[in-house]
Structure 1
């Protein structure tokens, strides 16, 4: 299985409440740009673990600044792409994107002796993201992402980092065909990758990313008062959301997510295991007419004789 890893600084993305260690949860919010060199150093250190585990002839690293980056083992089933500030890595193989059959498009290009419409699945993922990323709000974008993901056919695990919108998406197919793990370090980094042993420094929070879910994190603008300096505007790093793109039994709602807390011997929260809720059982009540007893039936017939 190919190695790939995505690393994000706490100022870029935060996991859902419960995945962070208690040490990180107690840390105050940092100012943008604070200790930038330290963030870069930590990012490279984490990426180098997956890089060293990858095949030398195929391994690549993309350090993107601000403590964010990717390490990946390039192959037909693990690819990276970027376009206009959007960076993606995808593992697996997708046959159909919403409204587009990647297999049919590649076949048609081959028959016409033309270049493939896209270089690899990562470029298809960029097209996929572009189809819903221009929504008016972060909530609208996330909602459209869920609708689109429910239509994707294939086995996949991917991460999208939009440095312009300051947005991070990660998802795994409903069947869990591709491995995906995530965890948070005591420094506040969020790591997502294909192998558990690549998530250096994430113990004990490291755990499996649940199949059929989308992680969405977008920074928001907040106002706060830093002492006697008055009120200033700053970008907040609110915890991200973990949402299911599996439809519930009613066909109109997404299934819920169950968070099972993990507690250490001192009673401190050090992470959680997340699972998609099972489809609700729907029991239809059907009224079956019961024939009346024989005596009552005879009385009824006698009373209704013409």
Structure 2
């Protein structure tokens, strides 16, 4: 799977951007990275998100233990890979039918947060028990929501292309093609949103610190992110349930 988002929709962390990236690439220009993805994964599907970016995925050659799913509900798009073990519990919690799959669950969980749900984002993601990585885009308010499980069970990478656009993929070679030296594995047990940046859902009150990443050739290549046990985030107030404020800015 692949997603590329325009930098005004999802700002890539500066620490991922390597100054040593030669020949910077624009992943969105002339459909460059989507075309490359299709050459590697023939018969892939491209979903054009207009000026916001693209989704590209293939249902061929899947790992049966980590299946790939795509869903759209009310202009909310979700690419999901893996499985959620407590799916039956979450269906009941969100009042969904038996045919509901993991991608739909993620969309409904996101909608509950966006529409002034009673739980913080870290609690909602922590409720997903299983092996997973997902990419969600809300077309109504141009919001990106991304997460991976705490074990890093699904190969998942992110980075910045030469224009500062955010690139996400389960294929390291695709990420490297689009980002050159400015990519790294997506941090385990973390989620990323357009408004809130990167957060550990296991330790949501702690800051994350970037650690420069060195590739197999000994060159700097993006960064990994670790929980800083000593640094706490400033507490920010959350609007109460039923307030007139939209919670999407607090995800």
Instruction: Kindly name which structure, 1 or 2, has the bigger radius of gyration based on alpha carbons.
Output: 1
Candidates 152, 158, 161, aligned match of 2:128: 152
Partner of 2:86, secondary structure, is strand
Shift of 1:255: 4.5
Q: For 1:213 and 1:156, locate their aligned partners in 2 and report how far apart those are by CA, in whole Å.
A: 12
Deviations 1:107-148 (A, max 9, x none): xx8xxxxxx432x32122211211211239xxx9xx721111
> Alignment length, in residue pairs?
214
Corresponding position of 1:246: 202
- Residues 22, 270 of structure 1: 8 Å contact kept: no
Deviation at 1:51, TM superposition (A): 2.4
Look up the match of 2:210.
259
- In structure 2, runs of 5+ residues without a counterpart are 215-219, 231-251
Change (3 A) 1:41 1:55: closer
d(CA) in 1 for partners of 2:162, 2:229:
33
Q: Structure 1 CA distance, aligned partners of 2:128 and 2:48?
A: 29
Query: 2:77 matched to which residue of 1?
Result: 87
Matched residue SS, 1:100? helix
Bigger relative contact order, structure 1 or 2, given CA contacts below 8 A and separation 6+? 2
Q: Distance in 2 between matches of 1:157 and 1:278?
A: 25
TM-score of the pair, normalised by structure 2: 0.73
Q: State the shift of 1:21 in Å.
A: 4.3
Matched position secondary structure for 2:179:
coil
Which residues of structure 1 form unaligned runs of 5+?
A: 25-38, 110-115, 219-239, 248-252, 264-268, 280-306
Does the alignment pair 1:207 with 2:207?
Answer: no
Q: TM-score, normalised by structure 1?
A: 0.61
Q: In 2, distance between residues paired with 1:274 and 1:43?
A: 32
- Counterpart check, 1:42 vs 2:29: yes
Distance in 2 separating the partners of 1:18 and 1:41: 21
Q: Contact between 1:13 and 1:190, CA under 8 Å: does it hold in 2?
A: yes
Task: Give the 3-state SS of the residue equivalent to 2:105 in structure 1.
Answer: helix
Deviations 1:5-29 (A, max 9, x none): 01111121111232234599xxxxx
Q: How does 1:137-216 map to 2 (within 5 A)?
A: 144-199=120-175, 200-216=177-193
Contact persistence 2:183–2:221 (CA under 8 A): no
2:116 is aligned with 1:135: yes
Alpha-carbon separation, structure 1, partners of 2:88 and 2:115: 16
Question: What is the deviation of 1:256?
Answer: 3.8
In the TM superposition, structure 1's runs of 4+ consecutive aligned residues that sit over 6 Å from their partners are none
Alpha-carbon separation, structure 1, partners of 2:229 and 2:37: 34
Aligned residue number for residue 53 of structure 1: 40
C-alpha distance in structure 2 between counterparts of 1:127 and 1:43, whole Å? 33
Contact 1:21–1:205, Cα closer than 8 Å, also in 2:
yes
Which of these residues, 81, 104, 127, is aligned with residue 123 of structure 1?
Answer: 104
